[in-house]
Amino acid sequence: MAAHLKKRVYEEFSHVVQIPQEEAPAKKLRLSKPSKSAALHIDLCKATNSTDALQYLLQFARKPVEVDSVEGVVRILLEHYYKETDNSVRLKIASLLGLLSKTQGFRPDCIVDDAINTLNNEKSHQVLAQLLDTLLVIGTQLPESPAVRQRLIEMACKHLADTYFGVRNKCLKLLGFLGTMDTSLTKDSEGQGTSSGGARDVQTIISDYFGDQEPRVRTAALKAMLQLHERGIKIHEIIYDQACRLLSDDYEQVRSAAVQIVWVLSQLYPESIVPIPSSNEEIRLVDDVFGKISHMVSDGSWMVRVQAAKTLGSMLQVSPHFLEQTLDKKLMSDLRRKRTAHERAKELFTSGEFSSGRKWADDAPKEKLDTNTVNLIASGACGAFVHGLEDEMFEVRIAAVEALSQLARSSASFAEKCLDFLVDMFNDEIEEVRLQSIHVLREISTHITLREDQLDTVLAVLEDSSRDIREALHELICYTNVSTKECIQLALLELLKNLNKYPTDRNSVWKCLKFLGSRHPTLVLPLVPELLSTHPYFDTPEPDMDDPAYIAVLVLVFNAAKSCPTMPALFSDHTFRHYAYLRDSLSHLVPPLRLPGNGLDLVDSRCGSGSVESAQLFLQQSLNRVSTIQNLEAPGAQDLLNFTIRDLQRLGELQTELAGAADFCATYLRCQLLLVKALQEKLWNMAVPLCLKQNVTATAAAQQILEETYKLEFLYSGLESRQVATIHHVRLQAKALQLILTARSRQGLDPLISSCEKFLLDIESFQRLFLAELPHLEDSFVDKLLELLPRLSSCKPVELVKILQSTLRQSGLLQLPLPEQIHRATATIIEPTGESDNPLKFTTGLVVALDIDATLEHVQNPQNTVKVQVLYPDGQSHVIHPKPGDFRKPGPDRHRLITQVYLSHSAWTEPSQIEVRLLLGYSSSSTSLSSSSPASKLGWSDSMDGLPPPEVAVEGTIPFSKPVKVLIMPKPARR
């Protein structure tokens, strides 16, 4: 063997001077196979005692084994297994067998027999359990072989009677993973006198072990049943009673698994009827299960409680009657019925009198209760959520809140009922729970109208010092319906108070009022005179236009006025003036109004609902027009491009919905235009030595196109692979241009050769990436290049450049297909505002923290890509990666970055401005198509570990927010 190999190696060396890279590992692989298993064999033989052998095995397990040598290794291991007397070594071998059969590409059917054989001869229980585990691995590796499966199942059934719990556990697991519906098994293999014999299916066998004496086996049996369910096998209803009995097991893991299985049954057979014990009534199974699981919400173990609370949320088929019981908790005091605080609040509200504070006997119990009717341990669902929401562990409370939200979303009446409880949760001691309940309330807010007292409680949270809570609450108020004008007034008052206390909430509060106004125009109407403090006879002083509180009021009023045409009549003169000002400065908050005698009608009609389609049409037409350009050198082509770009830009400004698409197209066309210009320059006709100077513009153009293509690719979301291919195509053209320019600059041959190689690699990767898109790129630059690729790769650089030049000049404009949804990533820095004249003073050499608050829209994975850049006046710049925890996600496609950047500098004599802006980082290796792939995630998790992110290809950043200037003043340290 070795001699033969040697010969081959010599042969190869004599043949070709350059060894192809791929050959080397292939050879290694061939050599390694015998050596690996042989080494193991020798090691194992060398081992004098079991500890040594174990050591060798452990070392061996650390290294991966190639696919083709697996079988050999397995044989050696098995051989050693038969000889080995020590249990621990056999155990390790058994586990290694399982590991090895997991090797990708290895089919373990060849070792099934051996594994089963060893199983039959094994005496040690631990090893047996491990071997069964191995069999499970083998079984899962061979999903399509029923014969093997059948044999494995038989083995499992045989060992189910083992006295060691571990073996029974593994057998049940095996049955769960491999058992099928049709496998009917005979269990009379042992002569234990059970005359029942006969065919029994897997489910019956597993359910027999629901009553095992060992809790771990009971758990395993339940889990196996769940596994069967997960694999799509329908579980029989017969096990329901058994499963229910396990709900009161002594062990928490059994109860937890039982909750799951009972839930599964309720989903499978919701409508079947079960009797209530100790009465002759019958109820639906799903209701029965709901009652039982509700009971588990007051279990002794919090794990079970979490499980139960979570499960409740997904039982949507339950009857409303049962559902509402979960919120029921009859109060009594000294045997007399007492109303809950919720009921009292409601009563006060309905009686028209607002709560005046509590009196000593306010909650004095009313009617005397009949002792027989008071049910202390409420049967069934009673008060499950009341318990869950008051639980000691916040995990249970969160689970209960989530369950409430799920149930409330499907049932409006339940939503109404659970409102009080959710509102109560706003006062939880753990912020997470508070936040969660606010979110939940927002989700179900379509179903509900808040009463005044409830709103009062909700609004009290506005003073919370946590920004997250406040913003969540603003979001909630955006979506809530309130019932009376007092509510609106109350909300406005509280929001203004909030604004006063936390001025940074300005935008959020305004937005909130915008929705509040547009939702309740009729409720705002009677409040208008008061809000604007107008008086029928007297002129009131004009309020300060810069007062955020006044703006807030105006936002509320204007938005209400949008759908309430009578309102503007109540406005005073300065209100109209302020409207015009705000409409201009805060156009996203102030809607266009139909005001009498105002020229603003025009704007209104243009922004009508039909205009989106027409704008869309216009966009499409513009693109079509451009596509008529066949030859880029045609005389009118440049003008047409210029005009189209201008049109598109304007369109983007006018129609915010289409801004992304229009911008995208315009940028693309600009690239084309640049390319055309670069190619049209006369320099191409000149002799090389003469055109050194003109090169500059063309080089700049090529550079700019490259940059633009990166912007196109990474700044816009919603791109399809067609567009990405087109963008890459343009980039390729730009690179070709660069290459030609390099060639012309005559800087020597070596750089040219390397850049030629690079270019060829680029073409190849383009081909690889966009194989599916190639048919669409017919007749394009790339298409032609690919045709010529065999020739290109073998020809000399100079020749290549010539070919490129001609193809480039011949290639036409590639039409850009308009994607469905395209959005440009934008970022706005809210804080710092850049308006402050007070410099941030700090001592030189120390750091100062600058709070940054920005909203990001349409940014995917902001945690990876968004960076903060700080530019100092001396040209120094720092890029700061915000922590992933600094990003919040208030809505779809929207992120919020709230972070602190640390600044430091040596002493300045006077305050000076630094610039802060946000950058979008990209790396060309990950196209925007695969930006959400695990690869990028990996990069992130790497950086979590403190490693630098892997350097790949071109890394760059695109500034995508307006820079904000901040005055800072580092002072020299005083001594």
Partner 1 sequence: MPEIKVTPLGAGQDVGRSCILVSIGGKNIMLDCGMHMGYNDDRRFPDFSYITQSGRLTEFLDCVIISHFHLDHCGALPFMSEMVGYDGPIYMTHPTKAICPILLEDFRKITVDKKGETNFFTSQMIKDCMKKVVPLNLHQTVQVDDELEIKAYYAGHVLGAAMVQIKVGSESVVYTGDYNMTPDRHLGAAWMDKCRPDVLISESTYATTIRDSKRCRERDFLKKVHESIERGGKVLIPVFALGRAQELCILLETFWERMNLKAPIYFSTGLTEKANHYYKLFITWTNQKIRKTFVQRNMFEFKHIKAFDRSYADNPGPMVVFATPGMLHAGQSLQIFKKWAGNEKNMVIMPGYCVQGTIGHKILNGQRKLEMEGRSTLEVKLQVEYMSFSAHADAKGIMQLIRMAEPRSVLLVHGEAVKMEFLKGKIEQEFSIDCHMPANGETATVLTNPSVPVDISLKLLKREMALGGPLPDPKKPRTMHGTLIMKDNSLKLVSSEQALKELGLNEHQLRFTCRVQLQDQKPEPETLSRVYTHLRSVLKGSSVQLLPDGTVMVESILIKVSSSPEDPDTKTLLLSWSYQDEDLGSFLSSLLKKGLPAALC
Residues in contact with partner 1 by the rule CB under 8 A: 161, 163, 190, 192-194, 211, 213, 250, 298, 300, 329-335, 338, 340-342, 357-360, 363, 371, 374, 376-377, 383, 386, 389-394, 421, 424-425, 427-430, 457, 460, 463-466, 501
Check residue 814 and report its DSSP letter: P
Toward partner 1, which CB reaches closer, 73 or 898?
Answer: 898
Q: CB of residue 501 vs partner 1: minimum separation in angstroms? A: 7
Query: Minimal CA–CA distance to 326: which of 408, 387, 371?
Result: 387
Tokens for 957, please give them. Answer: 């950043």
Alpha-carbon distance of 403 to 526, in angstroms, equals 40
Query: Minimal CA–CA distance to 264: which of 300, 311, 303, 224?
Result: 311
Q: CB of residue 151 vs partner 1: minimum separation in angstroms? A: 23
Query: Minimal CA–CA distance to 853: which of 596, 579, 471?
Result: 471
Toward partner 1, which CB reaches closer, 452 or 915?
Answer: 452
Alpha-carbon distance of 299 to 852, in angstroms, equals 46
Toward partner 1, which CB reaches closer, 367 or 910?
Answer: 367
Toward partner 1, which CB reaches closer, 168 or 578?
Answer: 168
Give the E-state strand segments of 196-237 in sequence order.
Answer: 199-201
Give the E-state strand segments of 36-121 in sequence order.
Answer: none
Token pair 């919701």 is found at: 270
How buried is 891 (Cβ within 10 angstroms: 0-12 exposed, 13-18 middle, 19+ buried)?
A: exposed
Q: CB of residue 668 vs partner 1: minimum separation in angstroms? A: 50
Give one word for 592, left, alpha or beta, with left for phi > 0 and alpha for psi -120 to 50. Answer: beta
Toward partner 1, which CB reaches closer, 287 or 464?
Answer: 464
Toward partner 1, which CB reaches closer, 374 or 617?
Answer: 374
The length of the chain is 975
Q: CB of residue 461 vs partner 1: minimum separation in angstroms? A: 9
Toward partner 1, which CB reaches closer, 341 or 582?
Answer: 341
Given the DSSP bridges, would you call strands 282-284 and 273-275 parallel, antiparallel or unpaired?
antiparallel
Distance set, CA 123 to CA 118, 166, 387 (Å): 10, 14, 50
Q: What angle do CA 682, 685, 691 make, to 5 degrees?
A: 70
Q: CB of residue 238 vs partner 1: minimum separation in angstroms? A: 17
Toward partner 1, which CB reaches closer, 298 or 699?
Answer: 298
Check residue 857 and report its DSSP letter: E
Q: CB of residue 274 vs partner 1: minimum separation in angstroms? A: 22
Q: CB of residue 465 vs partner 1: minimum separation in angstroms? A: 4
Toward partner 1, which CB reaches closer, 365 or 839?
Answer: 365
Q: CB of residue 416 vs partner 1: minimum separation in angstroms? A: 18
Alpha-carbon distance of 176 to 87, in angstroms, equals 27
Q: CB of residue 300 vs partner 1: minimum separation in angstroms? A: 5
Considering only CA atoms, give the Rg of the chain: 37
Tokens for 738, please give them. Answer: 């660069």
In a 3-state reduction of DSSP, which class is residue 84? coil
Sign of CA dihedral 567, 568, 573, 574: positive
Are 512 and 474 spatial neighbours (Cβ–Cβ below 8 Å)?
yes
Amino acid occupying residue 368: K
Toward partner 1, which CB reaches closer, 338 or 744?
Answer: 338
Alpha-carbon distance of 459 to 451, in angstroms, equals 12
Q: CB of residue 388 vs partner 1: minimum separation in angstroms? A: 11
Are 340 and 331 spatial neighbours (Cβ–Cβ below 8 Å)?
yes
Q: CB of residue 844 vs partner 1: minimum separation in angstroms? A: 32
Residue 566 CB neighbour total at 10 angstroms: 10
Token pair 């009131």 is found at: 540
Toward partner 1, which CB reaches closer, 17 or 376?
Answer: 376
Query: Minimal CA–CA distance to 512: which of 552, 485, 548?
Result: 552
Give the E-state strand segments of 257-325 in sequence order.
Answer: 273-275, 282-284
Q: CB of residue 129 vs partner 1: minimum separation in angstroms? A: 17
Toward partner 1, which CB reaches closer, 190 or 271?
Answer: 190
Toward partner 1, which CB reaches closer, 496 or 640?
Answer: 496
Tokens for 570, please give them. Answer: 């109540």
Toward partner 1, which CB reaches closer, 164 or 581?
Answer: 164
Cis? peptide before 20, omega within 30° of 0: no
Q: CB of residue 414 vs partner 1: minimum separation in angstroms? A: 18
Q: CB of residue 901 vs partner 1: minimum separation in angstroms? A: 24
Alpha-carbon distance of 680 to 633, in angstroms, equals 7
